Amino acid sequence: MKDIMTAPFLVEMIRTCTNMYNHGWDERNGGNISLMLDESEVAEYGDVKRVLRTIPTGFKAPSLDGKYFLVTGTGKYFKNVQYEPAVNLGLVKIADGGENAQLLWGFTDGGKFTSEFPAHMMSHAARLTVNPSNRVIMHCHPTNLLAMTYVHTLDEKAFTRTLWQMCTECIVVFPDGVNVLPWMLCGTNEIGEATAEKMKTARLVVWAQHGLYGAGVDLDEAFGLIETAEKAAEIYMKIAHLPLVNTITDEQMHLLEGRFSVKAREGYLS
């Protein structure tokens, strides 16, 4: 079998964690990522039948039974992933209708997956009903999006339109908009269920006064989605206190729809 340290999915996960930390999105042990893999990918680098230990998940996800995930660990710092990937990451297989996860590789210090694992799995299940190609759920604490939740209404349409108006590319990158949850206790099934429901209509879900969940078909898409929304929020936070002289109009956004073959979320443009 090939050395798992050379696996493209592991190499890209390490790079992504490092980039997210360098962007300032994942301070200390803030943030987590889960990447769904095909059995054929995993089998190249390890014995899929060799279970190191079984970890209870605390939830049920029948639709994910038998699925494989590379996931960040609870209490782990993103800055350390590049130095000790086998400690900070784990490769698991969902079993028993989602109630357990079989550890196949990683978490060598006895650790386990992120405390947000239920929210991740529920969001994966939700996104797969919308887009069967979805593979990534990414949670982080982008500074400007987080700041924006303190000074901007949390109405989803208004929040989305503000971001769309900040950068020409925004409506092209996330035409489905941004969904928003009010502050909720993190690490619970309740916030996982609420996030999963929001994931059915948008790939970005803001957790007010906390952070953001993003989804994508691969790590690049999820990262780029968050990066674009965060750039728009940064511009907003720089100008929110100033008189607005110019903006991107709805008419101009309709032109962008036509030029890039995207469709803005229904009812969000006049």
DSSP class per residue in 96-157 = GGGTEEEEEEE-TTS--B-TTHHHHHHHHHHHHHH-TT--EEEEE--HHHHHHHHHS---HH
Q: Which residues lie below 8 Å from residue 116, measured CB to CB, with a gap of 6+? A: 32, 139, 186, 187, 192
Tell me the HSE value of 65 on the side-chain side, using a 13 A CA sphere.
Answer: 9
The catalytically annotated residue of 12, 99, 116, 169 is 116
Strand ranges for the chain from DSSP E: 32-37, 53-56, 68-72, 89-95, 100-106, 136-140, 178-181, 204-207, 211-216
Q: Catalytic site residue 116? A: yes
Q: How far apart are CA 96 and CA 62, in angstroms?
A: 8
**Catalytic sites, residue numbers:** 116
